[in-house]
Structure 1
């Protein structure tokens, strides 16, 4: 199969960029022919005129449509898989595909098509106002990067294509990463029959190297951005209640990093490489993910499952779909430091249950999140629109 993958890279490299690369590599490893059309936001113009032109083309870029048509005519793909078109490629990619009679699949990595801020969060709290209401509400709050002008540009794009029926009529199939994410897009008016579910995946860390022996005593591990939406303040409050019962190691960086220095029983390791994170996951007793936003699809959870690492996560959004309470870990009430502390203490006090969770985690990984399972699911989606 010949697949044209389309992706607008972000200025700060994130998980989505890695998913695109992994998916392209997965397809090629099975003999499919992949051409990757990428543009990079690092190359966006910094002068006022350039920024103005970018803003004007966010809703619809005729220049990008011409480039898309050239690529489609030259490559002649069987299918186009769009990962991110914002802001440079724009939804004009759909019209190019329609013109060349090539079906389109679009992965919904975040909530950009229904929320100008992309994360359904405002002022540190969940916000769903734009799902059923006007996206222009985001302008008042400056939901896109704290900028009212930037929010106006994105809100106009969302509103225009919602009103024009773009999402309903110009995309053959959407890929949501979880059942929860699908429910939010359906709530926003996306056709339920056009949304398939396919999670992200990782390679098995134990394919080449045997797992290491667990550290004794173990520790709790947090991996990710040290910021408010990740529930860091709740995490610190909870650990202050454990009275030294369990060490917490934090691998990552972010705006709240300095505030964690010198706190008893919490060690901030800074940013760590994937191989270093793998070692930490093999040594830890459980992973903690106290996020206070819905999350798109936190790959760190799948990494934990792959390492047989139980998870203690917020009972919220996509985490509800990935972690099975009482099977692969425990869920706690979001923002509730007392509940988080109680659940962490229970895990420490029940090592036999931790072992059971660990075995279940590996089983769930093998059932749902391997590269082979992902390839099979992706081919089923592609064939459904061909």
Structure 2
């Protein structure tokens, strides 16, 4: 019989909800559903509003209160594993030191590129940027004010990254890093993380939403934050050429909302639905002919894509970073060159001309979900990672 674990799950919530929050919640539910005890420790970025820039800079380097709070929790609950999702900026790397002081192995899920890039995106001035990838001190990120468009705040992030690189916090205090894709793993190793400590485990969708109907409606769907790195200019540029050959429904909100609103008024067939609940998003995916994913940055592992796969919706996505690996062109969707309006138009045109092949893509997309992104498979992967961490920490094998 499988031993049951006590797992400390920790996460720093952003002010704007996102995929990382969903994964944190889903993994907690998954562990509990399989009989393990989950102890949650969370902080929320809403508290930053009452924090000076100087105090925030100190906190993101080392949060003394979080360090002591976590040691007290660990002493009381005695978890077997401490699994961290986001620790930036309030929990801070002090959490890893607290866990190690109590001899609890640390797992860190790398949802973005924060350990290598001040803004976590490898994206600046509407283009991919790797200036700080191998830098001990990310000077470029400070010069360009990559964090919150502030050189002062970017200097604080740069200081945090540099101090903990010099101290060896990532290499010495974290037992295993979880990268979401093979592409991300390669980037983190290139940036200096130990290759033997980085494993790949994708996110998952639960509960299983079930496949959509084979007879779908004639519309394309975009779901995501309305921001430049998500490729909104490419998306709208393509539909200005496609006109009303296939309607486009846009779901989401963000800084480019006014631009999307204007486009929905000016372009025939473009409809902006705003932010929807998850159940409404999944229903829209089930009924869509395909999802468009025009991102122009490296992404992590977009929940949007695997949610589309879970309902059997193929994805026409940009061939960049991990997205290029996620979509099997001709099977679960199609690729187009990131930022290339004409190539996106070309791929959409192909989809419209090949309904039989698109129907087969729907089946392939659903199969891809069942094989790689279901909760059952993810649970096995997660438990194996915990076993590896415990084995390395204590010299014993968990079974």
Same fold (TM over 0.5): yes
Deviations 1:208-251 (A, max 9, x none): xx7446344x1111111122111111111112222422111111
Q: Does 1:98 align with 2:100?
A: yes
The aligned residue for residue 132 of structure 1 is 134
Task: Trace 1:321-340 onto structure 2 (pairs within 5 A).
Answer: 321-340=325-344
Out of 10, 16, 20, the residue aligned to residue 12 of structure 1 is 16
Q: Which range is displaced more, 114-123 or 39-48?
A: 39-48
How many angstroms apart in 2 are the aligned matches of 1:241 and 1:205?
36
Assess, with a 3 A threshold, how the Cα gap between structure 1 residues 246 and 88 changes in structure 2: closer, same or farther. same
**What CA deviation, in whole Å up to 9, does each residue of 1:72-92 have, x standing for no partner?**
100100010011111122111
Mapping for residues 213-224 of structure 1, pairs under 5 Å: 214-216=215-217, 218-224=218-224
Provide the rounded CA distance (Å) in 2 between the counterparts of 1:43 and 1:255.
Answer: 22
Match of 1:356 in 2: 360
The answer on whether the counterparts of 2:209 and 2:282 sit within 8 Å (CA) in structure 1 is: no
Q: Which residue of 1 aligns with 2:299?
A: 295
**Offset at residue 139 of structure 1 (A):** 0.7
* Cα distance in 2, alignment partners of residues 178 and 284 from structure 1: 26
Q: Are positions 1:244 and 2:248 aligned together?
A: no
Contact 2:351–2:358 (CA<8 Å) still a contact in 1? yes
Identify unmatched segments of 5+ residues in structure 2.
391-399
Contact kept in structure 2, 1:204 and 1:306, CA below 8 Å: no
- Whether the aligned pair in 1 keeps the contact of 2:214 and 2:359 (CA below 8 Å) is no
TM-score (norm 1): 0.96
TM-score under structure 2 normalisation? 0.93
> Deviations 1:31-71 (Å, cap 9, x if unpaired)?
000000011111235254xx422321211222221111111
Name the residue aligned to 1:196.
199
Q: 1:179 aligned to 2:182? A: yes
Alignment correspondent of 1:253: 253
* Partner deviation per Cα, 1:89-148 (whole Å, 9 max, x = no partner): 211111111211111111001111111111111111100111113312211000001011
- Quote the Cα distance in structure 2 between the aligned partners of 1:9 and 1:18: 10
Secondary structure in 1 matching 2:321: coil
Counterpart for residue 76 of structure 1: 78
Cα distance change, pair 289–166 in 1 and its aligned pair in 2 (3 A): same
Query: Size of the alignment, in residue pairs?
Result: 381
Q: 1:296 to 1:256 in 2, by over 3 A?
A: same
What is the match of residue 311 of structure 1?
315
Q: From the superposition, tell whether residues 41 and 257 of structure 1 become closer, same or farther in structure 2 (CA, over 3 Å).
A: closer
Match of 1:119 in 2: 121
Q: How far, CA to CA, are the matches of 2:324 and 2:76 in structure 1?
A: 44
Misfit runs of 4+, over 6 Å: none
1:186-219 alpha-carbon deviations (Å, 9 max, x no partner): 0001001100101111125445xx7446344x11
**What is the DSSP-based 3-state SS (H/G/I as helix, E as strand, rest coil) of the residue aligned with 1:225?**
coil
Structure 1 gaps of 5+ residues are: none
Matched, 1:110 2:115: no
Deviation string 1:140-172 (CA, Å, 9 cap, x unpaired) is 000001011110000000111112221111110
**For 1:35, what is the secondary structure of its paired residue?**
strand
Separation (CA, whole Å) in 1 of partners of 2:85 and 2:264: 38
Q: Does 1:377 align with 2:378?
A: no
